[in-house]
Structure 1
Amino acid sequence: MDAMLNLTEPLKRYFGFETFKGDQEAIIRNVLAGRDTFVLMPTGGGKSLCYQLPSLLMEGTAIVISPLIALMKNQVDAIRAVCGDDGVAHYLNSSLNKGAIDMVKSDILHGKTKLLYVAPESLTKDENVDFLRNVKISFYAIDEAHCISEWGHDFRPEYRRIRPIINEIGAAPVIALTATATDKVRGDIKKNLGMTDAKEFKSSFNRPNLYYEVRNKTKNVDKDIIRFIKQRPGKSGIIYALSRKRVEELAEILRANDINARAYHAGMDSATRSQTQDDFIMERIDVIVATIAFGMGIDKPDVRFVIHYDIPKSLEGYYQETGRAGRDGGEGLCITYYTYKDLQKLEKFMEGKPVAEQDIGRQLLSETAAYAESSVCRRKFLLHYFGEEYHEENCGNCDNCLHPKKKVEAKNQLKELLEVVQAVKENFKADYIIDVLVGKETDEVIAHKHADLDCFGCGDEHEEKFWNAVIRQALIAGYLEKEIENYGILKLTAKGRKFMKKPESFMVSEDNEFEDDDEEVVSRSGGGTGVTDPALFNALLDLRKKMSKNLNVPPYVIFQDPSLEAMATMYPVSIEELQNIPGVGAGKAKRYGKEFCDLIRQHCEEYEIERPEDLRVRTVANKSKLKVSIIQSIDRKVALDDIASAKGIDFNELLDEIEAIVYSGTKLNIDYFLDEAMDEDHLLDIYDYFKESETDSLAVAMDELGDDYTEEEVRLVRIKFISEMAN
């Protein structure tokens, strides 16, 4: 192929572009010259053009191997549209019947087809291998090439068979393309495809238009997501969650709150998936909720936000999924919810897998955790992970840069860290290094005799959390690196050795705090509650205290803390809006609501707060029938144990339901049951206790009341008390 061939003419003729992006032209010339080519280009960088254009210019048919059946159809349609010929591009995968397959083969044999998209599973079928042996192949393009590597985020064993199959079909140049690959994955791909001499083209991974933020994942995550989407009406977005069940539930909750959302995962039939995808592209749907595990081949340029409901299993997966936002260069908001519990859950999923696979999985998870917890620039962290240096100190477009943490001098601590790495012969991972630093005598440390080292325990004045931050920031600053072959082992760099001889200033910022949401710690500062507006929350607490004094009822009888938290987040200003707050039924809203609404309205005016318009967070009404049925049974004075039997639930579950009913403001009279089932003195003692108590906590009540009373009795009387005093 003539090296001086003018490529801008066919680029304009077929694709309508005046100029190439980045390395596109150099990549295409390399392919046209018949050389193996390795392309590392971020999502949205224009990878597909790198094999589509040369296929149209070369003799024969190009084979494109891609794992995404959904994307194949889109790309084939696009090529057919630009060429005005249906025969020019085809795909072969499990979605085609025999008649369709025969038509594809006929077009190929007649020389009409320049591009054939094949799923790796289809490529390995004997009848396809036999057929392709008789076809003139211009080159092989392996898309999503990271699937070859066990260290890639979407490893597929069938990708390992691509090279032997290529050898069977017939040799031709190979172009491997991926949007995410660390040095380790890159080496794996080239070795496995037998293309170690390939010319490599690596584009920058920096996507300046993407905003990265990690949020603490609390119980209010659904509300937070609803509020976020409601503030961006009509904008397209993708939400990733870990399980199909969660995807279905979340899509349903969003729809219940008037958000046009649909679920999308591998368990759905292909017709539904295709329809959902088309609806998203055609903007009949605003939001897609999808499983992380399922690669969505959605090539939509104006996705405005990508939300990770659960932390992804690897930073490569995270980068590729967030990369679906803002491909047109416009706004792209990438919000991730993180809690350490999710990490533990993912680790648990690995149990039972081969040990080597578990090790890889844990290493990848630790990188994701480091990204979430680190307070350094998110962009800098991501680019460093992909082997690219980012020299800006503040990118101005991530949460850590917009709200930087205070930095402290850690020159001495870095020196201690590097000395420990050197003392253990640069042969261990971060966790082990920290054990030596803080002086933790683990079995492994004792076995290696590292408790005898002079530097053992030299960093015991700091916690493990601090040392984690120092290690992460030392890696980014280039004092340490991770070994590529035995990934995760910390090695000193030339810069690190130089520092040990002549230390210089090294500033670190502490990692971000991610509180567990088990105990809702409510402090007067509003800390730990997850409320948006601590000042309003404190004002609501004061109002509740005042009213409790005037009405002579405990504060929790008026509204419980979670209800006040929700008010300080959602700003209800009318009785109707107040009823959408969890734990506030019509009765409570009517009885106590006016003063709370007045206070919230006044607060919004004073601080010029823009309330989320018409924010009604409705839960999906899956249990409402049960609740209605329980209320009707109690009205008919059916014994509570009989109600439980009739509903097929145990007695404690029934009490859970009844508590939810009375706490939201509905009055229930269970005296008929208490008179039969309870000792009168016990009943009066427990009732009097709740009258005096500052809290309705069951644990505190059991502690105060002593062993004479059962938990069941206390719960039953608490229901009577709340119903009479609050509703």
Structure 2
Amino acid sequence: MKDIILLLLREYGERISSSMIKIDLTKIKKLLNLSESQIEENFNLLSYIGILEYDKPSAFSNVQLITDRVDSRYLQVDAKKLEKTKLHRQKRLEKVVEYADTTNCRFKFILDYFGENVKYYRCGKCDNCLNKKHNSEPMINYLEEIIIKTLHENKRSLKVNRLYPVLSGKSKAVTARSFTTFGTCAHYSKQDVQQALDRLLTQKKVFIKSDLLFLNENGLSTLTDFFEEVETEDSLNGYESNLILFNELRAQRKLASTKYLQPANLICSDSILREIAEKKPDTPSKLFDIKGFSQRMFNKVGEDFLFVIKEFLKMSENQKIPNKKSVPKDLTQTISLINKGYRLEDIANIMKLPVSLVSLQIESIIEYQPDIVIEKLFDTKELRQILDKLNTSNLDIKELKAELPHNISYAKIRIMLTKKRLSEEN
């Protein structure tokens, strides 16, 4: 014990006699050549006889306050700041997950995170850029939609090994031809489809069980083309009509969700909304005929839904166009992509065709449907530059190309010239 007391005085001086100090047991053990248990025994004995006060180290993590404890009466907690800090750190964690899951250039992801908007940037060094088969975001989105639509048509499930044969059109099964998506991905490789499927699995929009691929509600809610497409003009218009009404009903449901402070799907599920959009009930009794629609739903959104449906039916009746030209069957995919707002380059990428050939298809579509909206095919700045030239001059296509910036192709100029000519004729 004498050796321990002398060592403490030599190492820590007079401070040890006036206040509690933290000592290094490992150092003391080494200097005195004693075991840990012997040191513990000596300290406990010195504490027992009153020579020193010894607090045994805890085996658990502990916190040491560096300032005086605040009286609870004066304690102030900034709840808003704590919540803000929590949300900020949660978002940062989510970004880490997004970075791990992204199929785009990883360095571009980092640049976007720090506020640098570098469209179409690729570093050429990360694993995604070095991947031999690098697919664009619009292409992956398109393939995801095709996969979801295929599962939806087959009662939300399909054998995994049947998916690519159906989409590529290589399946010899008679039932495969009943899919509206049969052969729509003939120009895509199996790896392309697999990449889109992998992302759907990561996003938990589909899942695999016992070699079967299933579509869940999360995947179904993202489906744009949720109505069966056929090749006649009336059914195509019906599909578009249903989709527009569906989105209007969803907007009305969102208002009710905010009003009643309840999740939107609790107010009325997407599956019920789809049936309402398809059947378009215009009376309370017809609305109650919709499977799953209850009195509780009617109390919250019933009258609003009926008003939206009636206004929609009235507007649709007023906008009917008789004797409209039918659209060639081989252009329906291009029309679908135009209506979804894809840019010209993205459509060419998705269809794996030259931009010049796609532009010729679009010109044909404009011939059949002069009222089709094509503005989203162009970058906003490019569209403004082309329109400015078309509205202020009567130049031919070569003269327009010479006057416009070099990045604006002949294909884009031809599309706008066709649109302008047919708009003037009609």
TM interval, short-chain normalised? under 0.3
Q: Which has the higher helix share?
A: 2
Which structure's CA Rg is the greater one? Answer: 2
Q: Which has the higher strand share?
A: 1
TM-score, scaled relative to structure 2: 0.26
